[in-house]
Homo-oligomer: A and B are copies of this chain.
Amino acid sequence: MSVLSAHQSTLLVVDMQTGLLPAIHDSDALLHRAGRLAQAARLCKVPVIATEHWAQKIGPTHPELVAHIDQVLHKTHFDATREPDFLPSLPKQRPKVLLIGTEAHVCVLQTGLGLKRQGYEPILVTDCAGSRKPSDWLAAQARWDHYGLERITAEMAMFEWLDTPANPVFKAVLTLVK
């Protein structure tokens, strides 16, 4: 029962790759929101980690996002936590992992469940996650609920990370909310 705080959060960008995004429902808006959230994360000193799935086949993370990402991890499992280098690469002392990306019902979902099993608190940012079919995106949210996991929107995260009006990046983050 608490709002997010920036110092406890990591933002995980799952497989937002050039070869997959065009097939995702409403991907332009999704990419736009994800970019804003990643920028806000950086302003609030929230680490931004990305995964790329078989990058040699599916391509790199979308160029609009790359500038806002601290580290890219490669994976071949749908569930990133099964890659040996994934969990060791996550920032320490940050139990809350906000997940965005594609597809909401495959790699985002499986990675979220994997993180939960490892003791993290995965949080789905619903309006920055997508699937090719909206019905799969909705079903992913229902399954997230089934396991008692939390889901939020990009703006919830941004306003909660800000914490107080004394935050020096207050105005800079607000300009990202449109």
Query: Which residues of chain A have a CB within 8 Å of any CB of chain B?
Result: 1-3, 54, 76-79, 82, 105-106, 109-110, 113, 116-117, 126-127, 133, 135-136, 139-143, 145-148, 150-153, 155-156, 159-160, 162, 164-165
Contact = CB atoms under 8 A, between A and B. Distances in A.
23 contacts: A1-B116, A1-B117, A2-B117, A3-B113, A54-B165, A78-B159, A82-B164, A105-B155, A126-B135, A126-B139, A127-B136, A133-B155, A136-B156, A139-B151, A139-B153, A139-B156, A142-B145, A143-B151, A143-B152, A143-B156, A145-B145, A145-B146, A146-B151
Nearest to A146: B150
Q: Which 8 pairs show the lowest CB-CB distances between chains A and B? A: A139-B153, A76-B165, A106-B159, A136-B153, A105-B156, A146-B150, A3-B110, A1-B147
Contacts of A3: 79, 110, 113
Interface centre among A2, A156, A160, A162 (most CB of B within 10 A): A156
Nearest to A3: B110
A143 B135 contact: no
A18 B159 CA distance: 21
A164 to B, nearest CB: 6
A123 to B, nearest CB: 10
A6 to B, nearest CB: 14
Contacts of A151: 139, 142-143, 146
Nearest to A117: B1
